[in-house]
Structure 1
Amino acid sequence: MVTVLSPLDRKLVRDLWRIKGQALAIAAVIAVGVLMLVMMTGLVNTLEETKQAYYDRYRLADVFAPVERAPDRFLERLAEIPGVAVVEGRVTGSALIDMPAEVVPVRAKAVSLPDDGPARLNDIYLAEGRMPASGRADEVLLLKGFADARGLRPGDRLSATMHGARRVFQVVGLAQSPEFLYTTAPGEIVPDDARFAVLWMSRDALAAAYDMQGAFNEALIGLDRDATAQGVLAAVDRVLDPQGGLGAFGLEDLPSNFFITEEIEGGRKNAVGVPPIFLGVSAFLLYIVVSRIVQAEREEIGLLKAFGYSDWEVSSHYLKMMLTIAVVGAIAGSLGGIAAGRAMAGVYQAYYKFPFLVFQLDPRSFVIGFVISVLAACGGGFGVLRGVFRLTPAVAMRPPAPADYTRAGRLGGIWLRILDQPGRMVLRRLRRQPARMAGGALGMAAGMALSVGMIGVQAGFNQSIDLSFGVLDRSDAQVTFTHAMSDKVVYELGRLPGVEEVEPVRNVGVRLRHGLYTHRGAINGMIAAPRLARAMDDAQRALTLPDEGIVLSSALARVLHAGPGDVVTAEVHEGRRPVLEIPVVAVADSLLGSPAYMNMDALNAALKEPGRVSGAYVRLDEAGQDTALAAIKDMPGVAGVALKSDVRDSIQSMMDSGMGAVRFIMLAIAGIVTFGIVYNAARIAFAERVHDLASLRVIGFSRGEAAFVLLGELGLVTLAALPLGAVMGYGMAAAVSAAFSTEVYSIPLMFDARSVGSAALAVLVSAAFSGWLVKRDLDRVDLVTALKTRE
Structure 2
Amino acid sequence: MAGLADLSPLDRKLLRDLWRMKGQAVAIALVIALGVLMLVMMNGLVRSLEDTRTAYYERHRLAQVFAPLQRAPQSLLSRVAEIEGVSVAVGRVTGSALINLPGQRLPLSAQAVSLPDQGDARLNDIYLTAGRRPDPSHKDEIILLQDFAKAHSLSPGDPLSATMHGARRTFRIVGLAQAPEFLYSAAPGEFVPDDARFAVIWMSQSALAAVYDMQGAFNQLLLGTTKNSSLPAILDRVDVLLQPYGGRGAYGLADHVSNRFIEEEISGLRVSSRTVPPIFLAVAAFLLNIVISRMIRAERSQIGLLKAFGYRDIEISLHYLKFVIVIAVSGALLGCFLGVMSGRSLAQVYQHYYKFPFLLFQVDPMTFVIGILVSILAAAAGGMLVLRSVFRLSPAVAMQPPTPADYSRSLALAAFMKRWLDQPGRMVARRLLRQPGRAAGGVIGIAAGMSLAVAMLNVMSAFDQTLALSFNLIDRSDLSVSFIEPLSDNVVFELQSIDGVIEVEAQRTVAVKFSNGQHSYRGAITGLPVNARLNRALDNRQQAIPMRTRGVVLGSALADILRVKTGDVLDIDVREGRQPQLQIPVTGVADTLIGSPAYMALDSLNRVLAEPRRVSGAYLRIDSARQDAIYRRIKALPGIAGVSLKQDAREAFQRLIDSSAGAVRYLMAAIAAVITFGIVYNSARIAFAERARDLASLRVIGFTRREAAFVLLAELGIITLLALPLGGLLGYFLVFAISEGFSTDLYRVSAVFVPQSYGIAALAVIIAALLSGWLVKRDIDRIDLVSALKVRE
Fold conserved between structures, TM > 0.5: yes
Q: Is the 8 A contact 1:535 1:589 kept in 2?
A: no
Task: Tell me, in whole angstroms, the C-alpha distance in 2 between the residues paired with 1:129 and 1:389.
Answer: 76
Q: Which residue pairs with 1:241 in the alignment?
A: 243
**Mapping for residues 291-306 of structure 1, pairs under 5 Å:** 291-306=293-308
Q: Is the 8 A contact 1:70 1:217 kept in 2?
A: yes
Q: Which residue pairs with 2:52 in the alignment?
A: 50
SS in 2 for 1:497: coil
Q: Is the 8 A contact 1:66 1:217 kept in 2?
A: yes
Task: Tell me, in whole angstroms, the C-alpha distance in 2 between the residues paired with 1:409 and 1:602.
Answer: 79
Q: Which residue pairs with 1:561 in the alignment?
A: 563
Q: Which residue pairs with 1:144 in the alignment?
A: 146
SS in 2 for 1:448: helix
1:771 aligns with 2:790: no
Identical positions, percent: 60
1:209 aligns with 2:193: no
Give the deviation of 1:616 after TM superposition: 0.6
Q: Which amino acid is the alignment partner of residue 471 of structure 1?
A: L
Which of 280, 289, 292 is the equivalent residue of 2:291? 289
Give the deviation of 1:106 after TM superposition: 0.5
Question: Residue 494 and residue 388 in structure 1: after superposition, are their counterparts in 2 closer, same or farther (change >3 A)?
Answer: same
Question: Residue 227 and residue 593 in structure 1: after superposition, are their counterparts in 2 closer, same or farther (change >3 A)?
Answer: same
Task: Tell me, in whole angstroms, the C-alpha distance in 1 between the residues paired with 2:256 and 2:188.
Answer: 12
Which of 188, 191, 200 is the equivalent residue of 2:190? 188
**Mapping for residues 103-502 of structure 1, pairs under 5 Å:** 103-408=105-410, 410-411=412-413, 415-502=417-504
Q: Which amino acid is the alignment partner of residue 674 of structure 2?
A: I
**Mapping for residues 589-738 of structure 1, pairs under 5 Å:** 589-738=591-740
Residues 247-266 of structure 1, C-alpha deviations (whole Å, 9 max, x = no match): 10100011111111111111
Task: Tell me, in whole angstroms, the C-alpha distance in 1 between the residues paired with 2:76 and 2:428.
Answer: 88
Q: Is the 8 A contact 2:297 2:386 kept in 1?
A: no
Task: Tell me, in whole angstroms, the C-alpha distance in 1 between the residues paired with 2:558 and 2:635.
Answer: 33
Q: Is the 8 A contact 2:136 2:207 kept in 1?
A: no
SS in 2 for 1:274: helix
Q: Which amino acid is the alignment partner of residue 20 of structure 1?
A: K
Which of 556, 576, 585 is the equivalent residue of 2:587? 585
Task: Tell me, in whole angstroms, the C-alpha distance in 2 between the residues paired with 1:283 and 1:197.
Answer: 50
Task: Tell me, in whole angstroms, the C-alpha distance in 1 between the residues paired with 2:456 and 2:409.
Answer: 41
Give the deviation of 1:108 after TM superposition: 0.1
Q: Which residue pairs with 1:86 in the alignment?
A: 88
Task: Tell me, in whole angstroms, the C-alpha distance in 2 between the residues paired with 1:408 and 1:598.
Answer: 70
SS in 2 for 1:192: coil
Q: Is the 8 A contact 1:315 1:388 kept in 2?
A: no
Task: Tell me, in whole angstroms, the C-alpha distance in 1 between the residues paired with 2:759 and 2:360.
Answer: 43
Question: Residue 409 and residue 538 in structure 1: after superposition, are their counterparts in 2 closer, same or farther (change >3 A)?
Answer: farther
Task: Tell me, in whole angstroms, the C-alpha distance in 2 between the residues paired with 1:303 and 1:412.
Answer: 36
Task: Tell me, in whole angstroms, the C-alpha distance in 2 between the residues paired with 1:783 and 1:706.
Answer: 12
SS in 2 for 1:624: helix
Residues 178-205 of structure 1, C-alpha deviations (whole Å, 9 max, x = no match): 0111111234210110010000001111
Q: Is the 8 A contact 2:272 2:742 kept in 1?
A: yes
Q: Is the 8 A contact 2:188 2:641 kept in 1?
A: no
Give the deviation of 1:414 after TM superposition: 6.0
Task: Provide TM-score, normalisation by structure 1.
Answer: 0.98
Give the deviation of 1:381 after TM superposition: 2.2
SS in 2 for 1:190: coil
SS in 2 for 1:391: coil
In structure 1, runs of 5+ residues without a counterpart are none
Give the deviation of 1:409 after TM superposition: 5.1
Q: Which amino acid is the alignment partner of residue 502 of structure 1?
A: V
Q: Is the 8 A contact 1:157 1:171 kept in 2?
A: yes
Task: Tell me, in whole angstroms, the C-alpha distance in 1 between the residues paired with 2:236 and 2:500.
Answer: 48
Q: Is the 8 A contact 1:30 1:282 kept in 2?
A: yes
Q: Is the 8 A contact 1:453 1:730 kept in 2?
A: yes
**Mapping for residues 733-744 of structure 1, pairs under 5 Å:** 733-744=735-746
1:515 aligns with 2:517: yes
Task: Tell me, in whole angstroms, the C-alpha distance in 2 between the residues paired with 1:658 and 1:85.
Answer: 35
Give the deviation of 1:764 after TM superposition: 0.3
Task: Tell me, in whole angstroms, the C-alpha distance in 1 between the residues paired with 2:287 and 2:792.
Answer: 23
Q: Which amino acid is the alignment partner of residue 76 of structure 1?
A: S
Question: Residue 72 and residue 12 in structure 1: after superposition, are their counterparts in 2 closer, same or farther (change >3 A)?
Answer: same
Q: Is the 8 A contact 1:514 1:568 kept in 2?
A: yes
Q: Is the 8 A contact 1:691 1:786 kept in 2?
A: yes
Q: Which residue pairs with 2:754 in the alignment?
A: 752
Task: Tell me, in whole angstroms, the C-alpha distance in 1 between the residues paired with 2:750 and 2:135.
Answer: 52
Residues 209-262 of structure 1, C-alpha deviations (whole Å, 9 max, x = no match): 111111100000000001011110111000001111001010001111111111
Task: Tell me, in whole angstroms, the C-alpha distance in 2 between the residues paired with 1:90 and 1:123.
Answer: 12
Task: Tell me, in whole angstroms, the C-alpha distance in 2 between the residues paired with 1:685 and 1:13.
Answer: 22
Q: Which amino acid is the alignment partner of residue 8 of structure 2?
A: S
Task: Tell me, in whole angstroms, the C-alpha distance in 1 between the residues paired with 2:539 and 2:301.
Answer: 66
Q: Is the 8 A contact 1:283 1:379 kept in 2?
A: no
SS in 1 for 2:625: coil
In structure 2, runs of 5+ residues without a counterpart are none
Question: Residue 409 and residue 269 in structure 1: after superposition, are their counterparts in 2 closer, same or farther (change >3 A)?
Answer: farther
Q: Which amino acid is the alignment partner of residue 93 of structure 1?
A: G
Task: Tell me, in whole angstroms, the C-alpha distance in 2 between the residues paired with 1:351 and 1:407.
Answer: 68
Question: Residue 381 and residue 414 in structure 1: after superposition, are their counterparts in 2 closer, same or farther (change >3 A)?
Answer: closer
Aligned length, in residue pairs = 791
Task: Tell me, in whole angstroms, the C-alpha distance in 2 between the residues paired with 1:577 and 1:209.
Answer: 27
Task: Tell me, in whole angstroms, the C-alpha distance in 2 between the residues paired with 1:707 and 1:552.
Answer: 61
Give the deviation of 1:688 after TM superposition: 1.6
Give the deviation of 1:696 after TM superposition: 1.8
SS in 1 for 2:725: helix
Between 712-721 and 514-523, report the one with greater CA deviation: 514-523
Task: Tell me, in whole angstroms, the C-alpha distance in 2 between the residues paired with 1:501 and 1:719.
Answer: 55
Give the deviation of 1:412 after TM superposition: 5.3
Residues 467-523 of structure 1, C-alpha deviations (whole Å, 9 max, x = no match): 111111111111101111111111111111121111100111100112221111110
Which of 534, 537, 543 is the equivalent residue of 1:535? 537
Task: Tell me, in whole angstroms, the C-alpha distance in 2 between the residues paired with 1:409 and 1:539.
Answer: 55
Give the deviation of 1:633 after TM superposition: 1.6
Q: Which amino acid is the alignment partner of residue 217 of structure 1?
A: N
Give the deviation of 1:789 after TM superposition: 4.4
Q: Is the 8 A contact 1:494 1:502 kept in 2?
A: yes
Q: Which residue pairs with 1:62 in the alignment?
A: 64
Task: Tell me, in whole angstroms, the C-alpha distance in 2 between the residues paired with 1:516 and 1:720.
Answer: 52
Give the deviation of 1:391 after TM superposition: 2.6
Residues 101-158 of structure 1, C-alpha deviations (whole Å, 9 max, x = no match): 1111100000001113211000011100111112111000000011111110001111
Give the deviation of 1:383 after TM superposition: 1.1
Task: Tell me, in whole angstroms, the C-alpha distance in 2 between the residues paired with 1:15 and 1:733.
Answer: 39
SS in 1 for 2:525: strand
Q: Which amino acid is the alignment partner of residue 525 of structure 1?
A: G
Question: Residue 408 and residue 648 in structure 1: after superposition, are their counterparts in 2 closer, same or farther (change >3 A)?
Answer: farther
Q: Is the 8 A contact 2:332 2:372 kept in 1?
A: yes
